[in-house]
Amino acid sequence: MGIGTSIFLIALGAILTFALDASVGGINLDVVGWILMGAGVLGLIMTTLIWGRRRQVVTTTEQPVEYRQVEERRDIAPPL
Residues contacting 30, CB < 8 A, separation 6+: 16, 17
CA distance 21 to 12: 14
- Domain residue ranges in the chain: 3-54
Q: What is the pLDDT of residues 20-37, one digit of tens each?
A: 888 888 888 899 999 999
The answer to whether 16 and 40 have CB atoms below 8 angstroms apart is no
Q: Is the pTM of this model over 0.85?
A: no
Q: What is the pLDDT of residues 50-77, one digit of tens each?
A: 887 766 666 666 666 777 787 777 777 7
